[in-house]
Amino acid sequence: MLLSLKNVHKSFKNGEESIEVLKGIDLDIEKGSVNVMLGPSGSGKSTLLNIIGAIEPIDSGSVVMQGEIIIDGTDIAKLKNMALTEYRRQKLGFVFQFYNLIPDLNVKENIEVGAYLGSNPLNSDDLIKSLGLWDHKDKFPVQLSGGQMQRTSIGRAIIKNPALLLCDEPTGALDYGTSKEIIKLLEDINEEFKTTILMVTHNTELAKIADRIVTLHDGKIGSDAKNEEKIDATKLNW
């Protein structure tokens, strides 16, 4: 087991009112698996992803990521400051709907930024070729299409060879054809680098590529099951 969440709660203050957005979440993520979390807006998907990514603290419960070195079996809810920073650097990669590339760096340089955050980075030239960006490696973000920018963003996230890749609506700003290409790329990354992936989306079709599908509704796990009808990303249609 790579990641385990036990009885996770999260509330936000709205004036004097407290709004509970996560209500006792239990979730296990297997090493090397592709996991898709579905749910409507406001269900708590992004909040849960941010908690796993140590971007937001939890109110109660535990988030345990098992692995090597720093946080082997350690409850990250109890980590502070530098330990949390090291957890994010060594164990996690992030892919968001918006690319957040550095405008003054070219594709190769943007990707290599991620290499400085990990202790065992992948070879940047090999990765750029795998991403289909070799012919664009010297271009700057303003010269790229949306799909090329997202590929660059994904490259920056995985070059440090993270244990877990967290994807929050990674195709949300892309057209249909480019979205399929990005999902296929994530599938290929999982197969080539054995990267564990947790993707949050509202698109139920994307869940068909997952090993495991989790649904979230009103801050609770609605369902959590192995996908018995997994298909290749090239066969997705929506």
Count CB atoms within 10 A of the CB of residue 62.
Answer: 15
Between CA 144 and CA 178 the distance in angstroms is 13
Q: Is 20 left (phi over 0), alpha (psi -120 to 50) or beta?
A: beta
pLDDT confidence of residue 66: 38
pLDDT confidence of residue 73: 59
pLDDT confidence of residue 130: 93
201 lies in some domain: yes
Q: Which two tokens stand for residue 49?
A: 């992803």
User: pTM, whole model, 2 decimals?
Assistant: 0.90
For each successive 10 residues of the chain (238 residues), what is the average pLDDT?
85 83 90 95 91 80 43 65 84 91 98 90 95 97 96 96 93 91 95 94 95 96 96 94
What is the number of domains present in the chain?
1
pLDDT confidence of residue 68: 28
162 lies in some domain: yes
Residue 158 belongs to domain with CATH number: 3.40.50.300
11: nearest Cα among 53, 44, 52, 46: 44
157 lies in some domain: yes
Tell me the residue range of the domain where 215 lies: 3-11+29-233
61 lies in some domain: yes
Between CA 238 and CA 233 the distance in angstroms is 12
Between CA 168 and CA 56 the distance in angstroms is 15
Residue in the block written with tokens 């998907």: 45
